[in-house]
Amino acid sequence: MRALLLRDLMLSIRAGGGFGLGLAFFLIVTVLVPFGVGPQTELLSRIAPGILWIGALLACLLSLDRILALDWEDGSLDLLATAPLPMEGIVTVKAFAHWITTGLPLVLAAPVLGVLLNLPGDAYLWVVVSLAVGTPALSVIGTFGAALTVGLKRGGLLMSLLVLPLYVPTLIFGAEVARRGGEGLTVQAPLLLLAGISFGAIALLPFASAAVLRINLR
């Protein structure tokens, strides 16, 4: 398991990996939004938490098809399936590696990019907290989508359509935590719901991902 995690991390850092992809996309979105919205700092700081969350979500989506498709193409997935690792473990490790290479950099970059969006001072902490709690759910749900569409040529479109609706609850509660935090309101309810989604997804979805992967490998 650890070997698989280390291999995935090493591959994503080496040339051709997906390490910078999500981060670069996130940067582009948050840089371009102020230009698109215009010089209204009041409006900008009102939509900033939502923009940061949408940017993070789309950046996550962008790199999902790399989670399993590359291993499928070169035959490693077949070999991993016959290895002494449980399939549930494989998909969990894959999702974790995806979170480290995509979700974690987004969490760390969000407060820096928040400056560009005139994010209210109180909201910085809650944007980081909500992303830190919410992005693992994005990776795990995304791995499920990747497992569903593995082996389909150009399955990226279908995967986006499948995964986006599943992302909506995470987005709603994540952005709500950041918004309420920025306005100085209590964040307990949306934060608990967001954490519930994350933990529920981490606990249950690997079994679903492993099951669909077994069917897809036939």
Partner 1 sequence: MVLTVRDMAVTRGGLAILEGVSFDLAAGEALVLRGPNGIGKTTLLRSVAGLQPPERGTVSGAEDQIAHAGHSDGLKAMLSVTENLRFWASVFGVTEIEPALMSFALTELRHRMAGTLSAGQKRRLGLARLMVTGRPIWVLDEPTVSLDTASVALFAEAVRRHLRNGGSALMATHIDLGLAEARVLDLTPFKAAPRARQMDEAFL
Binding mask 80-109 for partner 1 (x = CB under 8 A): xxxxxx------------------------
Measured from the CB atom, is 153 or 218 closer to partner 1?
218
Closest by CA to 63, choosing from 9, 100, 19, is: 19
Contact yes or no for 17/100 (Cβ under 8 A) = no
Asked if 79 interacts with partner 1 (CB under 8 A), we say yes
- Contact assessment for residue 65 and residue 183, using Cβ atoms and an 8 Å cutoff: no
- Indicate which single residue of 24, 41, 78, 203 sits in contact with partner 1 (rule: CB under 8 A): 78
Which residue from 35, 74, 121, 165 is in contact with partner 1, where contact means CB under 8 A? 74
- Cα Dmax for the chain: 58
* Alpha carbon distance 110, 114 (integer Å): 6
Taking the complex as a whole, how short is the minimal distance between the CB of residue 1 and partner 1, in angstroms? 9
At residue 202, what is the residue type?
A: I
Half-sphere exposure of 97 (CA within 13 A, CB side): 27
Which residue lies nearer to partner 1 by CB, 73 or 122?
A: 73
The interface with partner 1 within residues 114-153 (CB under 8 A) comprises none
Helix axes 2-13, 87-98, angle to 10 degrees: 30
Q: Mask: binding to partner 1, 1-30, rule CB under 8 A, as x and -?
A: -xxx--x--xx--xxxx-------------
Q: In whole angstroms, what is the distance from residue 88 CA to residue 99 CA?
A: 17
CB of 25 to partner 1, least distance (A): 22
Nearer Cβ to partner 1 (71/176) = 71
Chain residues that interact with partner 1, rule: CB under 8 A: 2-4, 7, 10-11, 14-17, 73-76, 78-85, 215, 217-218
